[in-house]
Chains A and B, each alone.
Chain A
Amino acid sequence: GAVVSQHPSWVICKSGTSVKIECRSLDFQATTMFWYRQFPKQSLMLMATSNEGSKATYEQGVEKDKFLINHASLTLSTLTVTSAHPEDSSFYICSASVGGSPRNQPQHFGDGTRLSIL
């Protein structure tokens, strides 16, 4: 089945540093990738949608300059949390899709990244 690799799975860093999270589709070409944020015991909140080679579309309330998304190829999207602060601590999940009607699954999810800012 389709596999999405997300790295790192857990990162702890000091306040003020920037953190990059990678999302790779390993065995298919993803036309669209999604980035979600999830707080404990809550649902997935869509942050942005990115299509290969174009700028990401951010959801209302998500700071573009804080959460930089790059989707340079059909198999790789990155989320960079710039100048991270403790309030950015959360669980971040990426997913990838090939678009069109879902024959099996609409989106293939990565395993998530737990980000802790000290």
Chain B
Amino acid sequence: AQTVTQSQPEMSVQEAETVTLSCTYDTSENNYYLFWYKQPPSRQMILVIRQEAYKQQNATENRFSVNFQKAAKSFSLKISDSQLGDTAMYFCAFMKHGNAGNMLTFGGGTRLMVKP
């Protein structure tokens, strides 16, 4: 079984600053995917970024980037130039490759507050 751990229940950052959210996971799988989801106060689940484990290059989506350390089983999310709209719960998620149905294992979440 896989586990995903987010060690920071809450974080805050000043607008325009950079913040990094931590995520570690435990698995015996070699092929898998990792994701970061954002859940704003509206409670919609929004996919922010995804990373394939076989890719060494870290994924980047505009202001969002990851630091994927496969050996350390670490998958942190960096948000640059933080905006007020980034205020949300952020969930790290794991999925095995070839998983029928695409089942996700979620971390406990990090509540991020962006301050003006």
Chain A residues within 8 Å of B, Cβ to Cβ: 31-32, 34, 38, 41-44, 46, 49, 51, 91, 93, 95, 97, 99-102, 105-107, 109, 111-112
Contact = CB atoms under 8 A, between A and B. Distances in A.
A90 B67 CA distance: 34
Given A43-B107, A43-B108, A111-B43, A102 B102 contact: yes
A101 B101 contact: no
> In which size bucket is the chain B interface?
20 to 34
Contacts, number: 56
Contacts of B95: 102, 106
A99 B45 contact: no
A93 B103 CA distance: 14
Contacts of A95: 45
A109 B102 contact: no
Nearest to A50: B101
Contacts of A42: 108-109
B101 A31 contact: yes
Contacts of B42: 111
A97 B33 CA distance: 15
A109 B33 CA distance: 18
A111 B44 contact: yes
Nearest to B100: A99
A52 to B, nearest CB: 11
B101 A44 contact: no
Given A43-B107, A44-B106, A111-B44, A106 B33 contact: yes
A43 B50 contact: no
B47 interface: yes
A43 B50 CA distance: 19
B35 interface: yes
